[in-house]
């Protein structure tokens, strides 16, 4: 047998394929390679004499590294006669050949059983597995050997290590090799200083240990067993924990890092580095298929070029030949890189398995078996592992229908992350389709792991009910309000309406999702939380939070929380808690500190106020319940240092600190910074919980807490500027509280009673029920339209209205005094005849309307029959059926194509197997194989022809289908156009018949049918009347914007309502939850408005309409009304400002009552507890005067404003349009043109108006952040 290190043979160049795996034949015929010095004549070290004993060499190798380990072993034993060398092969005994088992150890030989090794092989891939097992091998060998030298399988030895390792002893038991002996230059070549910093200063390819290092090896093994990812960090830190020797011999560890700094020379006596004998070369990164590179890892700008160093090129050639001679070309790869079925194991899944394994060992839970574990007749570890990989890793993966395996695959693949950036939300369906299709076909996803994607809509009960998801103090209060409302409820998404108190909880699609968030989601404590799914609505806990939530982009409302039901602490329990903390009869102030929001909590300010208030008094204590100290150590240490000198201040950092603080408290204090109200809802919840226990509260007056408690519920401390607490006022409040503890306790009890009265659960439940009902109706309108039949009788509402005539008046309802029911009966009896007369008139009217409607319906049906709509529908149905048939044919063709491609892949696999085994057959067998190959080739050709025919059939089918659909759609479009023309004619007939039969011909104005219903407009209207005579909607963009801004339960203010188009339309949309206020100074238009409301709105709804007979202005006073050519009046000041005069030929000027609307609405027509949500002003030239009179309501309620803006009219009043726009922005409003979403600056808007031909633009004044 030839010596693998005998380099006398000619060295040869590798294959032309640099990426090929390499084989014995590949290296058979190659160009000449630089000749290498023979080693036969080189001197060999002698085992005689009194020199130190050779070290025991060892290495750790995976299958695929065995050839390198053999080269290392042979070269080590060549230069260490009498020495021993151990190869630890990371494989099972069953996976080894008989010859290999005699020369290697396996993990079971060093105490690692098969189950643990299988789990390590699953949890750690590649070099990480070597690094985890290494300290165990060193500790095992050190039990019987005084000195052990570890070398990685990529090392080759060229000299003895006796002399470099002779200095190791029990005091310095560790020897390490530095990668470089001096710094690398910053010249742009690689490896450079940055590469060195990433890889570490010491080379892990060489480690020497002797007796005395057992303790550090045990620590090393335990650390990498618990944290495999920390193997490199622990090795880099070894020099700091154990005395060691640095092997600075330049002949040790020649590598890609040091080869550029050291001079390598060859002579008859061997190789020398900087004059010292070469002892080892580390071929880390060397690839035998690319021997022209010392390291393929740094091939872009290599620091070391073999062409410039012939001795190094000779070493590389010899190492490559040695690897080939040791069987590298036929070596199998590691069996742990893939599952037993050949599927590659994703690295991220290894990390997930590692985490599950280690956490299960700590908690005592069952460990998921490794797919490489030995199984049995009743246990299949591979199947159990795949079952675990097929399950979701968290709630988000479960909601998206994603498995651990698929998500790990997405994490490891940058292309998947680019194509599916949100695989658990928006891209869940597309990513699941990729996994089931391309993922399975490419072999990256086992087919048994593919699960059907989660349904778009969860199974739910379609009835009025609410689900509350989430946990914590907020969720419990919401559940209390839900229980008080009497609505059916659950803790999972069983009902259509879902109240989510934790934004990270996933909720299946198809629900009306309402996020209940402190400060409407603008709380800094939630900035880092992951929001799972976009909500439909967002509920804040205060008006300040609602204003902050408007920037989120969804509808925001205020939820009134119920007062929690807590009993006062038991005196005995309170006394025991005080004794545990060493507190006697002192007065205890309690505060709560969350280090996650240190600045906003302002506990340091409270500490300052406490010191200022009490100086050296020892009869008071301050107890602070702390949370988040482990996550924010800097803030925690800052608070500790601020309080360490004051023994009266006690910090509680245990888990039950908040409960303990409330037990010992005499008063709860919160001096948090209320910056615009944001961040205050969380403190309000905490203080509300304290007040529920009868603990008096001292807090700031701004933001959510002051809004919730008021001055009757807490002692309020003033603030500076935008919410900075006044520490002097806080110190005064603390002093006053300490002066009379009895009065403080009585105040706490009274405050508890007042809060329980104003925030009773039944009140909160009533409000919540009203909003949940509105949300359920919205959900039904959006998601359940398919449950309503399209063929309902259009006369059914009229028939239902007729039954209302038979309902007797309800006289038994209670009133303000006891005689009210009796009085009602008397009045009803006295007016019974008149009441019956009115009912007869209404019956006659209904009969006429019913006859007219029936006749119109009959005529419309006849015209529809003439249009042959049924034929159109039948043709569309036929087209749909044909499309379905073609789709089925295409699907069948696709199945055939897939089957053909599968057969072709199977044929190709067989061909490849035959080609690989062709060399072992004789001529006769080759002939038979050739015939079989010819037959298979013919089958492949026939299969390809079949695929071509199928593709042609598919293309023809798609073309025919497209042509048929285009023809059908063209005919349908013509029929629809004819139908629209007929409908317009029918609408005119309806109006004429209505005028003739309803007895309304004597009323002024002209009726039109539009989106708002049957409206009557002035006959002299030259703008709105002509438009609505031929169109269904007026100002469609404004109407759509108003609809999107309306809030259930809010108030809609329509200034310049005219005949009530928007007022009547909005009133119908608000149902019974809102209110409409219309302002119209013109008496004639106001009369038409009231008539239109009476005709189009039910009586019960009309009660929610208020019509003001005044003119909105910036100040109370008398105004002038000038007749407008478009209808109504044009309002101007009575003092004659501007340049207006009475137009020629117009009627006389009328005098009007001008009012400030903020005063008028607050006094006579108050909006009560409702929120002013939308203001519509259709008076473009007077909009600034009208809004100036609304300023207080605009600042307090922050409604959205939709208005007209006419610069020429504003200038006519003597005002500057740009200054008007700047005043709007000073109120905290963004100026957004209707139809756009981005705000514009005043100067940009004026430039755009000047460049266009229009004189009036529609603006949306969107509430922004209010300026101080």
pLDDT in tens, 408-452: 999 999 999 999 998 887 788 888 888 888 888 888 888 777 654
**Model confidence at 591: pLDDT above 90:** yes
pLDDT of the residue at 678: 57
> Residues 288, 292, 295, 301: is their CA dihedral positive or negative?
negative
Per-residue confidence at 220, pLDDT binned at 50, 70, 90? very high
**Model confidence at 58: pLDDT above 90:** yes
Per-residue confidence at 31, pLDDT binned at 50, 70, 90? very low
**Model confidence at 1165: pLDDT above 60:** no
**Model confidence at 363: pLDDT above 70:** yes
pLDDT of the residue at 1046: 86
User: Measured in whole angstroms, how far is the alpha carbon of residue 214 from the centre of its chain?
Assistant: 49
Mean pLDDT for 389-402 is 85
Per-residue confidence at 23, pLDDT binned at 50, 70, 90? very low
pLDDT of the residue at 464: 86
pLDDT, one tens digit per residue, over 839-895 is 777 777 777 777 777 777 777 666 655 555 555 556 666 666 666 666 556 555 555
pLDDT, one tens digit per residue, over 1169-1219 is 678 889 999 887 889 899 999 988 888 888 999 999 999 888 888 889 999
Where would I find the H helices in 420-522? 428-434, 440-441, 473-485
What's this model's pTM, rounded to 2 decimal places?
0.52
- β-pair type (587-594, 466-469): unpaired
pLDDT of the residue at 1026: 86
- Comparing 325-339, 469-483, 1104-1118, the range with the smallest average pLDDT is 325-339
CA distance 680 to 700: 10
Q: What angle do CA 387, 392, 393 make, to 5 degrees?
A: 110
- Comparing 166-170, 602-606, 778-782, the range with the smallest average pLDDT is 778-782
pLDDT, one tens digit per residue, over 319-330 is 999 999 988 877
Structure token pair of residue 1236: 């756009």
pLDDT, one tens digit per residue, over 122-158 is 999 888 999 999 999 999 999 999 999 999 999 999 9
Per-residue confidence at 466, pLDDT binned at 50, 70, 90? very high
- Comparing 169-173, 371-375, 749-753, the range with the smallest average pLDDT is 749-753
Long-range contacts at 184-190 (CB < 8 A, ≥ 24 apart): 184/257, 184/261, 184/303, 188/301, 189/260, 189/301, 189/302, 189/303, 190/298, 190/300, 190/301, 190/302, 190/303
Decide if 407 contacts 435 (C-beta within 8 A). no
pLDDT of the residue at 175: 96
Mean pLDDT for 514-523 is 74
3-state SS string over 583-610?
Answer: CCCCEEEEEEEEHHHHHHHCHHHHHHHH
Where would I find the H helices in 665-740? 680-692, 703-713, 727-739
pLDDT, one tens digit per residue, over 753-762 is 888 888 888 8
Mean pLDDT for 524-534 is 56
Per-residue confidence at 4, pLDDT binned at 50, 70, 90? very low
The percent of residues in the chain predicted with pLDDT above 70, rounded, is 79
pLDDT of the residue at 727: 92
- Comparing 94-103, 663-672, 1153-1162, 1202-1211, the range with the smallest average pLDDT is 94-103
pLDDT of the residue at 454: 45
pLDDT of the residue at 800: 57
**Model confidence at 528: pLDDT above 80:** no
The percent of residues in the chain predicted with pLDDT above 90, rounded, is 31
- Closest to 1120 in 3D by CA, of 1102, 1138, 1105: 1138
Per-residue confidence at 279, pLDDT binned at 50, 70, 90? very high
**Model confidence at 750: pLDDT above 70:** yes
pLDDT, one tens digit per residue, over 656-705 is 888 999 999 999 999 988 765 555 788 888 888 888 888 899 998 887 78
pLDDT of the residue at 829: 65
- Comparing 273-282, 723-732, 1025-1034, the range with the smallest average pLDDT is 1025-1034
Pick 875 or 467 by higher pLDDT: 467
Mean pLDDT for 782-786 is 56
Q: What is the CA radius of gyration of the chain?
A: 43
**Model confidence at 646: pLDDT above 70:** yes
Mean pLDDT for 798-803 is 59
pLDDT of the residue at 7: 36
Per-residue confidence at 517, pLDDT binned at 50, 70, 90? confident
CA neighbours closer than 13 Å in the CB half-sphere of residue 857: 10
**Model confidence at 648: pLDDT above 90:** yes
Mean pLDDT for 547-562 is 74
Where would I find the H helices in 227-346? 231-241, 310-325
The residue assigned the tokens 């023979």 is 38
**Model confidence at 165: pLDDT above 60:** yes
pLDDT of the residue at 1025: 85
CA distance 843 to 847: 6
Average pLDDT score, the chain: 81
Residue 1028: its H or E element: helix 1024-1030
Per-residue confidence at 824, pLDDT binned at 50, 70, 90? low
**Model confidence at 216: pLDDT above 80:** yes
pLDDT of the residue at 389: 92
pLDDT of the residue at 620: 94
pLDDT of the residue at 1241: 92
């Amino acid at each position: 047998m030839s010596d693998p290190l005998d380099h006398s043979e000619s060295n040869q160049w590798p294959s032309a394929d640099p990426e090929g795996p390499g084989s014995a034949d590949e290296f058979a015929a190659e160009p000449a390679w630089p000749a290498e010095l023979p080693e036969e004549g080189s001197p060999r070290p002698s085992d005689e004499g009194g020199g130190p004993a050779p070290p025991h060499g060892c290495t750790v190798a995976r299958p695929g590294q065995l050839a390198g380990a053999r080269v290392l072993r042979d070269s080590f034993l060549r230069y260490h006669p009498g020495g021993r060398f151990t190869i630890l092969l990371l494989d099972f005994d069953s996976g080894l050949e008989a010859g290999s088992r005699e020369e290697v150890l396996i993990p079971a030989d060093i105490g690692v059983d098969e189950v643990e090794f299988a789990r390590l092989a699953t949890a750690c891939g590649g070099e990480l597995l070597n690094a985890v097992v290494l300290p165990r091998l060193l500790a095992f060998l050190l039990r019987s050997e005084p000195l052990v030298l570890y070398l990685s399988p990529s090392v080759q030895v060229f000299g003895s290590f006796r002399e470099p390792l002779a200095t190791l002893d029990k005091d310095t038991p560790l020897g390490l090799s530095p990668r470089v002996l001096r710094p690398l230059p910053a010249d742009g070549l690689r490896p450079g200083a940055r590469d060195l910093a990433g890889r570490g200063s010491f080379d892990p390819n060489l480690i020497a240990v002797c007796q005395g290092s057992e303790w550090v090896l045990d620590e090393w093994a335990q650390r990498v067993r618990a944290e495999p990812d920390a193997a490199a960090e622990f090795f880099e830190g070894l020099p700091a924990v154990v005395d060691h020797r640095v092997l600075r011999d330049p002949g040790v560890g020649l590598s890609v890092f040091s080869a550029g700094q050291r001079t390598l020379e060859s002579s008859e006596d061997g190789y020398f580095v900087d004059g010292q004998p070469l002892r080892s070369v580390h071929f880390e990164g060397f690839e035998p298929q690319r021997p022209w590179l010392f390291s393929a890892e740094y091939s872009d700008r290599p620091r070391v070029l073999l062409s410039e160093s012939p001795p190094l090129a000779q070493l590389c050639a010899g190492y490559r030949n040695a690897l080939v001679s040791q069987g590298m070309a036929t070596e199998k790869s590691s069996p742990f890189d893939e599952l037993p079925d050949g599927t590659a194991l994703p690295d991220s899944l290894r990390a997930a398995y590692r985490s599950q394994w280690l956490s299960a060992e700590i908690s005592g839970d069952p460990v998921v078996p490794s797919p490489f574990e030995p199984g049995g007749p009743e246990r299949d570890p591979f199947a159990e592992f795949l079952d675990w990989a097929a399950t979701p890793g968290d709630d988000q993966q479960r909601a998206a229908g994603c498995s651990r395996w698929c998500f790990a695959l997405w994490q490891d693949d940058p292309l998947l992350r680019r194509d599916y950036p949100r695989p658990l939300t928006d891209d869940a369906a597309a990513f699941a389709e990729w996994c089931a299709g391309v993922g399975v076909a490419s072999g990256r996803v086992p087919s048994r792991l593919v699960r059907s994607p989660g349904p778009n809509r969860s199974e739910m009960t379609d009835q009025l009910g609410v689900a509350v998801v989430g946990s914590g103090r907020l969720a419990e209060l919401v559940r209390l309000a839900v229980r008080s409302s009497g609505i059916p409820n659950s803790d999972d998404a069983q009902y259509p309406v879902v109240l989510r108190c934790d934004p990270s909880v996933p909720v299946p699609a198809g629900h009306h999702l309402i996020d209940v968030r402190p400060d409407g989601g603008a709380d800094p404590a939630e900035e880092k939380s992951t929001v799972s799914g976009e909500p439909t609505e967002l509920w804040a806990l205060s008006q300040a939070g609602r204003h902050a939530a408007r920037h989120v982009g969804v509808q925001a409302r205020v939820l009134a929380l119920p007062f929690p039901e807590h009993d006062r602490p038991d005196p005995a329990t309170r006394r025991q808690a005080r004794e545990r903390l060493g507190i006697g009869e002192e007065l205890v102030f309690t505060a709560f500190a969350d280090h996650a929001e240190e600045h906003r909590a302002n506990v340091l300010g409270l500490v300052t106020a406490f010191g200022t208030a009490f100086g050296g008094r020892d009869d008071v204590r301050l107890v602070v319940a702390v949370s988040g100290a482990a996550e924010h150590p800097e803030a925690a240490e800052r608070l500790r240092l601020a309080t360490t000198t004051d023994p009266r201040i006690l910090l509680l950092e245990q888990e039950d600190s908040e409960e303990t603080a409330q037990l010992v408290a005499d008063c709860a204090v919160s001096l948090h910074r209320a910056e615009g109200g944001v961040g205050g809802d969380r403190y309000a919840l905490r203080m509300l919980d304290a007040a529920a226990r009868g603990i008096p509260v001292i807090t700031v007056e701004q933001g959510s807490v002051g809004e919730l408690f008021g001055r009757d519920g807490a002692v309020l401390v003033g603030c500076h500027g935008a919410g900075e607490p006044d520490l002097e006022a806080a110190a005064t409040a603390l002093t006053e509280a300490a002066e009379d503890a009895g009065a403080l306790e009585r105040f706490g009890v009274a405050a508890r009673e007042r809060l329980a009265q104003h925030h009773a659960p039944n009140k909160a439940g009533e409000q919540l029920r009203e909003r949940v009902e509105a949300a359920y109706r919205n959900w039904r309108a959006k998601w359940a339209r398919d449950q309503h039949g399209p063929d309902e009788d259009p006369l059914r509402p009229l028939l239902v209205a007729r039954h209302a005539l038979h309902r007797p008046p309800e006289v038994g309802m209670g009133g303000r005094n006891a005689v009210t029911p009796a009085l009602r009966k008397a009045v009803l009896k006295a007016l019974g005849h008149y009441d019956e007369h009115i009912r007869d008139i209404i019956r006659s009217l209904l009969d006429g309307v019913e006859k007219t409607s029936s006749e119109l319906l009959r005529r419309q049906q006849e015209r529809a029959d003439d249009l042959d709509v049924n034929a159109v529908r039948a043709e569309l149905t036929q087209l749909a059926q044909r499309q379905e048939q073609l789709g089925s044919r295409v699907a069948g063709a696709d199945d055939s194509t897939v089957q053909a491609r599968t057969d072709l892949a199977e044929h190709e696999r067989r061909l490849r197997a035959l080609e690989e085994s062709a060399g072992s057959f004789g001529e006769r067998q080759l002939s038979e194989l050739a015939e079989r190959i010819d037959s298979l080739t013919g089958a492949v050709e026939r299969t390809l022809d079949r695929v071509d025919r199928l593709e042609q059939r598919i293309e023809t089918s798609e073309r025919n289908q497209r042509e048929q659909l285009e023809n059908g759609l063209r005919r349908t479009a013509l029929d629809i156009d004819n139908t629209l023309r007929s409908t317009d004619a029918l609408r005119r007939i309806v109006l004429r018949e209505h005028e003739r039969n309803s007895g309304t011909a004597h009323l002024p104005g002209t009726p039109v049918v539009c989106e708002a219903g049957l409206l009557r407009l002035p006959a002299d209207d030259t703008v709105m009347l002509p438009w609505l005579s031929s169109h269904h909607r007026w100002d469609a963009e404004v109407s759509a914007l108003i609809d999107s801004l309306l809030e259930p339960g809010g108030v809609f203010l329509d200034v310049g309502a005219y005949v009530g188009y928007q007022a009547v339309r909005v009133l119908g949309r608000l149902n019974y939850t809102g209110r409409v206020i219309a302002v119209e100074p013109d008496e004639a238009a106001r009369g038409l408005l009231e008539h239109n409301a009476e005709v189009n709105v039910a009586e019960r709804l009309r009660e929610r309409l208020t019509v003001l007979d005044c003119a909105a202005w910036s100040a109370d006073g008398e105004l002038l009304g000038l007749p407008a050519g478009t209808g109504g009046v044009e309002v101007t000041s009575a003092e004659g400002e501007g340049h207006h005069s009475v137009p020629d030929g117009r009627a006389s000027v009328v005098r009007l009552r001008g009012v400030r609307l903020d005063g008028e609405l607050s006094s006579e027509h108050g909006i009560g507890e409702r929120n002013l949500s939308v203001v519509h002003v259709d008076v473009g030239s007077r909009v600034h005067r009208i809004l100036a009179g609304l300023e207080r309501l605009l600042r307090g309620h922050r409604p959205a404003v939709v208005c007209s803006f006419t610069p020429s009219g504003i200038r006519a009043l003597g005002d500057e349009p740009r200054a008007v726009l700047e005043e709007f922005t000073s109120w905290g409003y963004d100026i957004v043109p209707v139809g756009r979403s981005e705000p514009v600056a005043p100067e940009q808007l004026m430039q755009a108006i000047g460049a266009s031909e229009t004189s009036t633009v529609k603006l949306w004044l969107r509430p922004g952040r209010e300026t101080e």
